[in-house]
Amino acid sequence: MAKPKVAFYWCGSCGGCEEAVVDLAEKILDVVAAVDIVLWPVALDFKLKDIESYEPGEIAVTFINGSVRLSEHEEWVKMLREKSQLVIAFGSCSHLGGIPGLINMNTAQQVLENKYLKSVSVDNADGVIPMPTNSVDGYDLDLPAVWNSVRRLDEVIDVDYYLPGCAPPPDLILEAVGAILKGELPPKGSVLSPAKSLCESCPLNESKPEDLTIDEFKRVATSQPDPETCYLAQGFVCLGPSTRSGCGERCIRANMPCRGCFGPTPEAMDQGTKLISAIASSGTSDTSESAASVAEGFVDPVGTLYRFSLPSSILKRGLKNV
Amino acid sequence: MPDNGFEPKIVGFLCKWCSYTGADLAGTSRKQYAPNLAGIRVMCSGRVDPTFIVKALADGADGVLIAGCHPGDCHYSVGNYRAMRRVPMLRKLLDQFGIEPERVWLEWISASEGDRFAEVVNSMTETIRKLGPLNWKERAEALSGAA
Amino acid sequence: MVKLLIDGREVTTEKGRHVLDVAREMGIVIPTLCHHESLPSYGACRLCIVEVTYRGKTKLQASCTLPVREGMKINTQSERVLKTRRLIMELLLARSPKSPVLKKLAHEIGVDQARFDHITGEDTPLLLGESPSTIVGDAGCIMCGMCVRICDDVMNIGALSFEGRGAKRHVTTPFRHMSEFCISCGACSSICPTGAIELLRIRPHEPDRIPNEFEYGMSWRKPVNISFPQAVPRVPVIDMNTCVNFKTGGCKVCEDNCQVEAIDHSQKDTVEEVQVGAIVVATGFELFDGKELPRYGYGRFDNVMSSLEFERLCHASGPTSGHIVTKEGKTPESVAILHCIGSRDSDHLEYCSRVCCMYSLKFAHLVKDHTGAEVYNFYIDIRAFGKGYEEFYKRLLQEGVHFIRGKAAEVTDVALTPEEEGKLIVVAEDTLLGMTRRVPADLVILSTGLKPAKGADEVGRIFSLGCGQGDFFLERHPKLAPVDTAADGIFLAGACQGPKDIPDSVAQGAAAAAGALSLIDKGKVVLEPITSVIDEELCAGCKLCISNCPYEAIFFDEDKKVSVVTEELCKGCGTCVAGCPSGAAKQEGFEDVQIFAEIDGALLLG
């Protein structure tokens, strides 16, 4: 019997999700033995026309990671959707928008100008910016169009499952692959990690007092967190309470408050506003002045609360700087 | 005098015991005031999740009013203090997104302050009128695809 | 126990008691002057002598200092006793012939004339450096020493003592100077059997009178008093601020004399916790203070009084026994009643205080009835809204009460014509006549408005009671639930909810009681369904909701490691739901999805 075909594709990606697959270490050999990888740009040399030649649904599972923000990404993911039975959004970027999603605070033009003209280390006396089309020796060359916003994968194509994380932990990947191969998958649209938030498995939750109050914010950039005490209790903004678990608390165990890469829990419509509500409620201010002064101490709310999920937030993007 | 006849759309979250009853009183007293606010009743201003405010603004509201009992008089004793703390933090977040903090109002209106409710609605309508329409969905949509 | 015979009757009593007390208990009359329950027996006046036979010997002895002995035979009415008693009386009269008390007692014993000359000390003792005076007045001191003993032993002051010997022995202060220790308690003057002591000769100041709060300071009271005749419970109260025992540690005469041992000066305030199922708040009202409107002269002019002061004045148990008189004691010839003082005033009480028109009419009628004076009511409107009220108003019109439609502008004592001299003039615009009038009055009554009682706001804070117009407590619904409050189980009754008269207060009291009873009689409580629920499957036990709850209704389940809402304690505010970072908490009836749907609907409008 032919082995099921599996594809990996990356959009606007850092490559971390590819490394996560490699991190399966020797178990990868089991995976490779069980499936037939037909696309993996980072590792294997398959071309567009190879994929185009497949029948619709011929690929069993396609794992797509990276943020979708170029016209090229749109073309590829749409094609892969047609050719695959299951599409799994792999990693924070395709699941939520990811860190590149923070570009939604600006426009594409601003990005290009910043990168090619305004940046301090740029040496571009002629002011050359990449153009969508250019003629060279009579040939028309195209570059993919850059979008003003990062979109989530499921805003462009129909997604069957999501593997969250930046990058998804190896155990989660193995579990997912195993379930697929056995045909024991949860309902379509599920996020393949536990629904409860991080506090449930966080080693520091015991030390969190029931009467937690936050009246002053600390930042990792300027203060050293205590690795034995709940970060919120210390005044650091930890996104754990509004983030799905399943990551093994890798950041916390490295003395870093959770940054929310697994995204919101199923019942929370917006990861950022939910956490702001919880944190603000835990203060002691009882006048508008003191409440405003506490709020002032919260530096860069968008970057802190929506580091991985800005395109998934209710407001989707910022309009201040555009 | 109105520039283009822009009528602000304001969503109000009113607590049942004080501000919603105050709004009722404005009604039964036949007060005339701006019709731009649509009120949503919650039990307490403490029930108002910043998520609601953001959702209203994202879906077409030009302004959002949260009204509760005066501090110290909350029917649930301290619910309104939760609102008092959440709103400034939300305003800071909204400002970074590009939504003027003046679009989100937090007012304390008691059940007997029908006049004050009408005043707040009038005043907020005028402020939002001057700020202009928010049009968040349309503006965000416009920047979602190709440059 | 000791057995003895008194006047031929056998009696058994405890050892150590005095014959006088035992005999009096048996109903035998023995006169005394220097005996008092609060002081140990002294044997000074000797009037209580009896004939005692003991161990074969018979003699006369003062019964107040004679302890009972087994086998004693006492005769209180023998010829010898009576004769000797009369002689003693004559001797006492010789010392103080003018004392009415002595003369009366002498007459009772059978002495009508003293055979002895009046004795005084050689010279009436002078107080050094002061004008000639003695502590002892014309009534005559009989040297019983009770004043000295009560001041020293009971009151713990010791301002008086005996001085001198023989005929010159008298009672005076140290060095005969005006006393700086005397506290003007009046114990000496009230215990003196002949009324010989004049307090002003001991201490030159009038004692600070204690104003009677119930009579609004129009009369005085003692440190112990019954607040007013209709007080419930009708028991006297000891005022710790003025009672001598709390100043000097002495006195306690009341405690010594109380035969049912109902007095305990060592009582302290205690805090008691009572668990109840319903509460009725009825903190009442207080009057608007006329001093806030200085133009009416309240506090400046003696004869301008507030409505409650006038209520006491015209009351039969009041300071003047119901005689309506000016401060100078004269019956007034004209009385002015000023309506709406403080009420219907945008600078003070915006609302109408509801009861003042009717009580003003009542006053008008009383004044007319008791004094026949000319009565002038200065009003804005006559609000006679209740049963029989309009008829009462009509009756007053027939009684000749003058009604001037115009709120009084001021009360002045500056006379512009001879008729106005010595009177208070009420100046008002008579809007029906269209002219300003000056009406001279001997007495002005201000019909002041009603405010919530002092300290009511504290009470309101404890029970989370909202306040409405005028800072009166807010009812749940002005038409449909006038005695309920926003909180289940807490009811309002009476003027604390808004100014009202007695029939309405009684009706509200009954309504509140009915509400309370219906709640506690059922034996079960109906809960609101809009409580908060935390989904065990979604709750990660982050504990951030626990401190959010105003009612401490959420606890952390250590076994399941999730937070749980105690449904009976949850009041349905939804604060925990808004503050739950993972969306595990939901409020029945106000779930996020429901509110999102409402937002969508709201945005469709307009």
pLDDT of residue C205: 74
Distances (CA, A) of A32 to B103, C41, C387: 56, 119, 98
Confidence category of residue A80, pLDDT binned at 50, 70, 90: very high
Question: Does C471 reach chain B within 8 Å, measured CB to CB?
Answer: no
Residue A185 in contact with residue A210, Cβ under 8 Å? no
Distance in angstroms (rounded) separating the CA atoms of residues C294 and C290:
7
Return the pLDDT at C470: 86
Mean pLDDT of chain C: 89
Mean pLDDT computed over C512-520 = 93
Contact A77, A153 (CB under 8 A): yes
Q: Verify that A159 and A241 share a domain, yes or no.
A: no
Min Cα separation C605/chain A (Å): 21
Is the backbone peptide bond immediately before A167 cis, with ω within 30 degrees of 0?
Answer: yes
pLDDT higher than 60, residue C121: no
Average pLDDT, chain A: 91
Distances (CA, A) of C183 to A314, B74, C175: 80, 52, 18
DSSP assignment letter at C127: -
Q: What is the pLDDT of residue C131?
A: 34
State the amino acid at position C364 in one-letter form.
Answer: A
Statement: residue A119 has pLDDT above 60: yes
Residue A129 lies in a domain: yes
**Listed range (A116-120, A137-141, C526-530) with the worst mean pLDDT:** C526-530
Gyration radius (Cα) of chain A, Å: 22
Q: With 70 as the cut, is the pLDDT of residue B109 above it?
A: yes
Do both A15 and A82 map to the same domain? yes
Q: Please give the Cα distance from C313 to C321 (Å, whole number).
A: 8
Three-class SS string for C386-440? CCCHHHHHHHHHHHCCEEEECCEEEEECCCCCHHHCCCEEEEEEECCCCEEEEEE
Neighbours of A, requiring at least 3 CB pairs below 8 Å, are B, C
C194 and C142 Cβ atoms separated by less than 8 Å: yes
Q: What is the pLDDT of residues C338-354, one digit of tens each?
A: 999 999 999 999 999 99
- Taking the Cβ of residue A196 and every Cβ of chain C, the question of whether any pair is shorter than 8 Å is answered with yes
Q: Per CATH, which fold does C2-108 belong to?
A: Ubiquitin-like (UB roll) (3.10.20)
Q: What is the pLDDT of residue C461?
A: 79
| Residue B132 touches chain A, beta carbons under 8 Å | no
pLDDT per residue over C51-70, tens digit each?
A: 999 999 999 999 999 999 99
The residue with tokens 């105050």 is B22
- Whether the per-residue pLDDT at C357 is higher than 90: the answer is yes
pLDDT at residue number C421 = 92
Confidence band of C568 (pLDDT split at 50, 70, 90): confident
Residue of A nearest to C542 (CA): A199
- Chain C neighbors of B66, CB-CB under 8 A: none
Say yes or no: domain B10-142 is CATH 3.40.50: yes
Q: What is the pLDDT of residue C134?
A: 46
**Every domain range in chain C assigned CATH 3.10.20.740:** 2-108
Does residue A282 sit at the C interface (CB-CB below 8 Å)?
A: yes
Q: Is residue A276 part of a domain?
A: yes
Read off the pLDDT band of C208 (50, 70, 90).
Answer: confident
Within 8 A by CB and 6+ apart from B71, the residues are A286, A287, B80, B81, B84, B108
Q: Number of Cβ pairs closer than 8 Å across B and C? A: 108
Q: Are residues A162 and A125 in the same domain?
A: no
Which residues of chain B are at the C interface, by a Cβ-Cβ cutoff of 8 Å?
A: 7, 9, 11, 17-18, 35-36, 38-40, 42-44, 46-52, 55-56, 59-61, 69, 72-79, 82, 86, 110-112
pLDDT of residue A26 exceeding 70, the answer is yes
Query: Check: CATH 3.30.2130.30 for C287-451?
Result: no
Specify the pLDDT at position A225. Answer: 94
| pLDDT single digits (tens) B5-34 | 899 999 999 999 999 999 999 999 999 999
Are C474 and C464 in contact by the 8 Å Cβ rule? The answer is no
Q: Which of helix, strand or coil describes residue B131?
A: helix
pLDDT value for B146: 61
Distance CA(A53)–CA(A83), nearest Å, equals 9
Bigger pLDDT: C7 vs C131: C7
Of C543, C580, C583, the CB nearest to A210: C543
- Give dist(CA B77, CA A286) in Å, integer: 12
- Phi, psi of C554, deg, nearest 5: -110, 135
Say whether B40 and C590 touch across the interface (CB within 8 A): no
**Count of domains forming chain A:** 3
Q: Give how far Cα B101 sits from Cα of A98, A219, B10, B53, C211, Å.
A: 27, 24, 14, 12, 60
d(CA C416, CA B49): 71
Question: Would you say residue C289 has pLDDT above 70?
Answer: yes
For A33-75, how does the pLDDT look when each residue is reduced to its tens digit (9 = 90+)?
A: 888 999 999 989 999 999 999 999 999 999 999 999 999 999 9
- The first and second tokens of residue A167, run together, are 């990058």
Q: Is the pLDDT assigned to residue A174 strictly greater than 60? A: yes
Chain C residues in contact with B24 by the CB 8 A cut-off are: none
Considering the domain architecture, whether residues A241 and A164 belong to the same structural domain is answered as no
User: Residue A188 falls within a domain, yes or no?
Assistant: no
Domain with CATH 3.50.50.60 in chain C: 287-451
DSSP-assigned beta bridge partners for residue C301: C298
C210 contact partners, CB below 8 Å, separation of at least 6:
C220, C221, C222, C223, C239, C242
Query: Residue C60 CB: number of other CB atoms within 10 A?
Result: 15
Instruction: Give CATH 3.30.70.20 domain extents, chain C.
Output: 532-604
The kind and range of the H/E element at C173 are: none
pLDDT of residue B144: 83
For B87, phi and psi rounded to 5 degrees? -65, -45
C54 contact partners, CB below 8 Å, separation of at least 6:
C69, C71, C72, C73
CB-based contact, A292 to chain B, within 8 Å: yes
Task: Express the helix, strand and coil content of chain C in percent, nearest 5 each.
Answer: 25, 20, 50
Distance from first CA to last CA of chain A, Å, rounded?
Answer: 55
Distance between CA atoms of C531 and B47, rounded to whole angstroms?
Answer: 12
* Within-domain flag for A187: no
Cβ contacts (< 8 Å) between A297 and chain B: which residues?
none
Adjacent-strand bridge partners of C62: C49
Amino acid at B62: D
Q: Quote the pLDDT of residue C127.
A: 38
CATH 3.30.540.10 fits C532-604, yes or no: no
The structure's pTM equals 0.62
Instruction: Please count the residues of chain C.
Output: 606
Cβ contacts of A165 within 8 Å, gap of 6 or more: A20, A91, A92, A172, A193, A246, A247, A261, A262
What pLDDT score does C606 carry? 57
Boundaries of domain holding A132: 108-142
DSSP character for C304? E
Cα distance between residue C354 and residue C590, in whole Å: 42
Find out whether A268 and C583 touch, Cβ atoms under 8 Å.
yes
pLDDT value of position C123: 44
The per-residue pLDDT for C122 is 45
Q: Considering Cα of A88, then A92, then A97, then A98, what sign does the dihedral take?
A: negative
Contact C544, C577 (CB under 8 A): no
**pLDDT tens readout for residues C76-101:** 999 999 999 999 998 888 777 777 88
Q: Is the pLDDT of residue C187 over 70?
A: yes
Specify if A168 maps to a domain: yes
| ipTM here | 0.93
Q: Are residues A48 and A173 in the same domain?
A: yes
Hey, are the CB atoms on C540 and A208 less than 8 Å from each other?
no
What is the model's pLDDT at position C120? 57
- Reference B22, options C468, A299, C334; nearest CA is C468
CATH of the domain at A68: 3.40.50.700
Q: Which of C471, C595, C596, C600 to mutate to test the interface with B (most CBs of B within 10 A)?
A: C595
Strands C224-225, C237-238: parallel, antiparallel or unpaired by DSSP? Answer: antiparallel
Q: For chain B, what percentages of helix, strand and coil (3-state, to nearest 5) are there?
A: 50, 20, 35
